[in-house]
Amino acid sequence: MEENGPQEGNRRSLAKVEYAGSRLLVERVSDSLYKCPICGALFATPKDLVAHIIAHALGVTSNRKRAPERG
């Protein structure tokens, strides 16, 4: 897996994540968080983000139950 750092500018920037021959351009919310372009979930590593995007492609995330909201 290869990752090129965020572009200079504000705290939200784009990062190129490369995994198994696929390249993704994703939003990087801070120095340590990558944002899923499909649902907006945040991930600490490019590897976790790619696994999550693959789950979207396989339809796994559409069957997932959400945790109940508190408050």
Exposure string (b/e) for 12-33, b if CB count within 10 Å is 16 or more?
Answer: eeebbbebeeeebebbbbeeee
Q: What is the pLDDT of residue 43?
A: 93
Q: What is the pLDDT of residue 60?
A: 78
Residue 62: how many other CB atoms lie within 10 Å:
8
pLDDT averaged per 10 residues, the chain (length 71):
48 79 86 90 90 87 73 68
Q: What is the pLDDT of residue 24?
A: 86
Q: Are strands 2-4 and 22-30 parallel, antiparallel or unpaired?
A: unpaired
Q: What is the pLDDT of residue 7?
A: 45
Residue at token pair 């945040």: 42
| Separation CA 13–CA 28 (nearest Å) | 5
Q: What is the pLDDT of residue 9?
A: 46
